[in-house]
Amino acid sequence: MIIEIQEKIHVMERRYFEEELRRHFVGEVVACTENAIRVRGYTWIFDKVKATFIRKPEKRERVIYPTDRTTINIIPKEIDLDELKYSIVAPKGLCITDGKKFSLEVSEFTAMR
């Protein structure tokens, strides 16, 4: 697999229906095969009222099976996952950022600009 152990990733799953929960996952790869990635990190859930993602407080391990519904972004290894948050960053729109040097536009929200 092209993803390696100890890489950090941001995972978005495309929804089938508008009312489906928007869920992202950010974590560090602990194992991978050709068909699956085991990641330790945080689940983020979209809060419609606040119009941003809220991080679940507990770290968890998740097995991700990449499909055509999955977008996986690589995060630089030096980024501290505990410092990441979602915010509006001009001119990009909604981004996940550490508030320092890392910022990743969340393209499914490009229309929020």
State the pLDDT at residue 108: 62
Supply 20's token pair: 């489906």
What is the average pLDDT value for the chain, to the nearest integer?
A: 87
**What are the backbone angles phi and psi of residue 112, rounded to the nearest 5°?**
-75, -5
The vertex-19 CA angle with 82 and 8, nearest 5°, equals 25
pLDDT digits (tens, 9 = 90+) for 27-51: 999 999 999 999 999 999 988 888 7
**What are the backbone angles phi and psi of residue 44, rounded to the nearest 5°?**
-120, 135
State the pLDDT at residue 110: 45
State the pLDDT at residue 112: 40
pLDDT digits (tens, 9 = 90+) for 46-68: 888 887 889 999 999 999 999 88
As a whole number of angstroms, the distance between CA 105 and CA 77 comes to 18
The structural domains of the chain, with segments of one domain joined by +, span 8-112
**CB-based contacts of 27, cutoff 8 Å, min separation 6:** 8, 9, 39, 40, 41, 42, 59, 62, 81
State the pLDDT at residue 111: 42
φ/ψ bin of 6: left (φ > 0), alpha (ψ from -120 to 50), beta (otherwise): left
